[in-house]
Structure 1
Amino acid sequence: MRGNVLLRYSLPLLIVLPIGFLFLYPQLIQCIRVSQSANFRPLTGMPTVYVHQAATSQQHKQLRQHVRTAQLRIKRFWGAQRGGAILIYCPQQADYEQYCAGGEGAGCSLGMPWGDSYLVLGPDGNNADVIAHELCHDELFTRLGWWRVKRQIPQWFNEGLALMVDYRFSNPTIWEHPDSSSRNRSEWPETRSMHIRPRPMLKLSELETTHDFFGNNPTHTMLAYQTAADEVARWLAKVGRAGVPALSNAIANGNDFSNVYHRLEREKKSRL
């Protein structure tokens, strides 16, 4: 009897939740249907990369190079690339807004509870740094799943980690020698990741959720990025690049984020 009751109420819920999710985020419907859109076509040699027909041949060439550079960067940072997100490039702002809520920034990541994920690039997103940033979000999503990322991973870590492979805002020598797409080392700031007027840093406890991180104002968001980048850079300098997959593996096995995060740092200190 109890089993029948659970089936009676849980089955409709399983049907309604995905529909409601799509209703709240119409951009996801656009992403899901991108392969059927007359305005997009796969990038030659990269079947999971869709390019709007407005893109020029030069933009096609640049995108292919930037995707390859970003993928190699992710493989070095994580040890391997497991993510398989669909990448959507919109060279015009009007199209970008249809696939990324608000149309802000150079790119955005959209993950589904059932596992699919989409990385949308706007007019300023055709570069290796933006693509690597979004691919890093997808890698964490792929390794831990939507539920764990939403419920267990603080937003400051998710964003701070992505900034470590985004050389617009971080120094790659924290974890690797600069790759061929990198600028001269002297151009990277040695102490601060973000070029904004110094202000009191935010507390990590104030940046736990997506709303905490992005839901205030542009100045707050920039400070949030700075705080996240500084903290993850500090942690990464202590634990080394191997700490990233070690942490994700431990969380995937059921361990608490905060416990693993601090334990890896303590273990590294004890070996020095």
Structure 2
Amino acid sequence: MRSVVLPLILGAIAVALIHFAYPAAAAAGCPSCYGFTEVEDGLYVERGMTPDRREAAKATVAAARARVRAFYGDLRSGPRILLCGTDACYRPLGGGSRGIALLDRALILSPRGADVVIAAHELAHAELHRRIGLVATLSRSVPQWFDEGLAVVVSDDPRYLATGPDRCRAEPGGDMPASRAAWIETADSAGLYARAACKVSRWLDAHGGSAGLLRLVAGGSFRDLAPITGS
């Protein structure tokens, strides 16, 4: 009996720790436990969302997937997408952000993130992480400024990209944070999204667009980006 009970106790403790330490991961692992219901394969919305909002969520996710697919040529990631309809749903999972990506496994979108641009931004993170692999993702082999700037470009976010041949709204300036922690500390105040989007956009222009990125993913090193971070 002890051999059966002990694993159950340890499992319950592990679930509790994940719930309190990282509720977003817990919700992604068990959406129904956190008040989500599946409306189509891989898409979960907050339980109680009205039928019209559910249909709007489906259309938003479909358009966001199409935007990421248009850049990459195909989609290799298939993260679970959890969409909150209220702030009360999202606050304990994502704080004050519009959306978050958990590796290439899940996205959680806030009510303010239920649009094509934000959904495509988070899907772009998931797609890059799937293509570089789990080890490279966890070891942060891609500088955070490049990851974020690429997501802005792929999602075609008009807040940070202009129209025209040179899409820059802000010059890159000096070095930008390579680590996630440093990015989170300074992103809002330093206008880093626009600066990173500019640098990535110009990098893509100089390296053949998405084909250049795919070459880098397939056989290059993102450390090679280091010499241009201060340009």
User: The TM-score by the shorter chain falls in which range?
Assistant: 0.7 to 0.9
Residue correspondence of structure 1 range 63-102 to structure 2 within 5 A: 63-100=57-94
The 8 Å contact of residues 68 and 155 in structure 2, kept in 1 or not, is answered as: no
Cα distance in 2 for partners of 1:20, 1:203 equals 43
AA paired with 1:72? A
**CA RMSD, Structure 1 to Structure 2 (Å):** 2.9
Cα distance in 2 for partners of 1:167, 1:259 equals 25
Residue correspondence of structure 1 range 95-244 to structure 2 within 5 A: 95-100=89-94, 103-111=95-103, 117-149=105-137, 150-169=139-158, 188-190=162-164, 193=168, 201-204=172-175, 206-216=176-186, 218-220=188-190, 223-239=191-207, 240-244=209-213
1:248 corresponds to which residue?
A: 217
The 8 Å contact of residues 161 and 232 in structure 1, kept in 2 or not, is answered as: yes
Identity of aligned pairs, percent? 27
How much does 1:208 deviate? 0.3
1:270 corresponds to which residue?
A: none
2:4 corresponds to which residue?
A: none
What TM-score comes out, normalization by structure 2 length? 0.80
Cα distance in 2 for partners of 1:73, 1:27 equals 25
1:32 corresponds to which residue?
A: 29
The 8 Å contact of residues 78 and 241 in structure 1, kept in 2 or not, is answered as: yes
Q: Which blocks of at least 5 consecutive residues in structure 2 are unaligned?
A: 1-10
The 8 Å contact of residues 74 and 132 in structure 1, kept in 2 or not, is answered as: yes
The 8 Å contact of residues 79 and 245 in structure 1, kept in 2 or not, is answered as: no
What TM-score comes out, normalization by structure 1 length? 0.68
Where 1:216 maps in the other structure, the secondary structure is helix
Distance 1:89 1:228, change over 3 A: same
AA paired with 2:35? N
Q: Which blocks of at least 5 consecutive residues in structure 1 are unaligned?
A: 1-14, 172-187, 263-272
Distance 1:230 1:260, change over 3 A: closer
